[in-house]
């Protein structure tokens, strides 16, 4: 199923689920319809799960990104690998405490570490050797970014895997990420290991680099974009205790009119006031006319006339302080990086459920109070 269809499907599910929730609240728990409404809700949850599975199957290279601690993945892989490796190979780990979390597909990262480890073991050969895994935070500045293909300026978690095996000459170094490039004897290697690692890192919004000295050592560096918490600033929460939901004036934008309608009713019931648009250009015009009359902007990500990112940028150019939330059915790893760079406060994944709204808006309430 193409991403576009999944996107539409998620919107429809959100409308079905949201309306069922509203109807359940209207009729109350004792009404005979409550049971049917609960069944609708359950079916929506399963349908949403199904879409995620179909999309994962159709696009195996698209990472199923979740917020992860890389050291946990590394530790798990090494625990599994250790017993299968030659006794002469020592594994060393060194994880810097301040390493940021990242959005990553655990399965793909697992596979990448296994590939790098197998290569290192092969390079070490029959004599004793060592493989070192180091995890650390790095900041790539504009100048460094120019020198590393596929990297942009920003914060990263970097995993380096260093072995003291045979190393590589310049000719090999130049080709190792090519598919089917191998120096192993016929029938022993596919030459796909590193091209897979490369593909994985690019689909995670990062990259992989290599350094090597022939006869001495090789180091592979995996760069994962840091997932700064795309959420309400912790300071806002700590300084101002949340007493109760404070009414907020919400500018709500989604190209799917049914969702604007739903959000309007849902948020109004929570005590907020909503101005909704299904055309982001109209929303932006309304915002520019009265920028002070909104406390929060909620925008969909993919819209035909103007993306949620473009809208968020334009809004924040007028009012840097305004919380902007983004809703989306499908967020790629690089989208999280973009959202963070723009200054979007939180990303709410569709299908949206009432609980999530309540939570996000409770977090924002102090902004108005203060």
Ligand X SMILES: Nc1ncnc2c1ncn2[C@@H]1O[C@H](COP(=O)(O)OP(=O)(O)OP(=O)(O)O)[C@@H](O)[C@H]1O
By CB under 5 A, which span of 113-121, 143-151, 168-176, 320-328 interacts with Mg ion?
113-121
Which of ligand X, Mg ion, none has residue 21 at its interface (CB below 5 to 8 Å by kind)?
Answer: none
Rounded-to-integer distance, Cα 166 and Cα 175, Å: 17
Rounded-to-integer distance, Cα 5 and Cα 365, Å: 35
Residues interacting with ligand X, by CB under 6 A? 115, 119-120, 123, 163, 165-168, 172, 176, 181-184, 189-195, 218
Q: Which is nearer to ligand X, 119 or 360 (CB)?
A: 119
119 lies in the site for Mg ion, by CB under 5 A:
yes
Kindly write down the DSSP assignment for every residue of 17-60, as one continuous string.
Answer: HHHHHHHHHHH-TTSTHHHHHHHHHHHHHHHHHHHHHHHHHH-T
Q: Which is nearer to Mg ion, 119 or 338 (CB)?
A: 119
The residue number whose beta carbon is nearest to ligand X equals: 193
Rounded-to-integer distance, Cα 319 and Cα 305, Å: 22
Q: Which is nearer to ligand X, 15 or 210 (CB)?
A: 210
Say if residue 343 is preceded by a cis peptide, omega within 30 of 0.
Answer: no
Rounded-to-integer distance, Cα 322 and Cα 296, Å: 6
Per-position x/- string for 181-210, each x denoting binding to Mg ion as judged by CB under 5 A, each - no binding: ------------x-----------------
Say if residue 351 is preceded by a cis peptide, omega within 30 of 0.
Answer: yes
| Residue 107 CB, nearest approach to ligand X (Å) | 17
CB 75 within 8 A of CB 159: no
Q: Which is nearer to Mg ion, 44 or 176 (CB)?
A: 176
User: For tokens 């949850």, what's the residue?
Assistant: 45
| Residue 118 CB, nearest approach to ligand X (Å) | 6
| Residue 281 CB, nearest approach to ligand X (Å) | 48
Q: Where on the chain is the footprint of Mg ion (CB under 5 A)?
A: 119, 193
């Amino acid at each position: 199923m193409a991403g576009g269809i999944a996107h539409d499907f998620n919107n429809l599910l959100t409308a079905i689920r949201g309306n069922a929730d509203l109807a359940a609240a209207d009729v109350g728990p004792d009404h005979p319809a409550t049971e049917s409404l609960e069944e609708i809700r359950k079916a929506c949850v399963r349908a949403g799960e199904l879409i995620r599975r179909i999309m994962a199957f159709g696009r195996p290279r698209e990472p199923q990104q979740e917020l992860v601690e890389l050291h946990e993945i590394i530790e798990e892989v090494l625990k599994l690998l250790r017993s299968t490796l030659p006794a002469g190979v020592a594994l060393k780990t060194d994880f810097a405490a301040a390493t940021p979390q990242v959005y990553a597909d655990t399965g793909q990262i697992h596979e990448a570490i296994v590939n790098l480890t197998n290569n290192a073991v092969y390079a070490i050969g029959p004599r004793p050797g060592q493989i070192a895994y180091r995890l650390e935070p790095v900041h790539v500045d504009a100048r460094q970014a120019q020198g590393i293909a596929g990297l942009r300026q920003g914060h990263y978690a970097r995993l380096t895997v260093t072995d003291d095996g045979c190393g590589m000459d310049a000719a090999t170094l130049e080709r190792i990420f090519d598919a089917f490039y191998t120096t192993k004897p016929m029938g022993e290697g596919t030459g796909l290991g590193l091209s897979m690692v490369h593909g994985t890192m690019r689909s995670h919004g990062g990259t992989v680099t290599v350094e090597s000295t022939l006869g001495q050592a090789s180091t592979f560096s995996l760069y994962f974009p840091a997932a700064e918490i795309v959420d309400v600033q912790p300071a806002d929460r700590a300084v101002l205790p949340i007493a109760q939901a404070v009414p907020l004036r919400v500018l709500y934008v989604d190209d799917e009119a049914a969702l604007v309608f739903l959000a309007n009713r849902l948020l109004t019931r929570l005590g907020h006031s909503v101005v909704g648009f299904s055309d982001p250009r109209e929303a932006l015009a309304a915002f520019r006319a009265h920028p002070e009359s909104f406390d929060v902007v909620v925008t969909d990500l993919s819209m035909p006339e103007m993306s949620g990112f473009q809208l968020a940028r334009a809004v924040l150019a007028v009012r840097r302080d305004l919380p902007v939330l983004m809703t989306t059915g499908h967020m790629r790893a690089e989208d999280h990086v973009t959202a963070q760079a723009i200054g979007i406060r939180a990303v709410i994944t569709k299908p949206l459920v009432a609980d999530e709204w309540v939570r996000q808006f409770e977090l924002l309430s102090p902004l108005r109070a203060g």
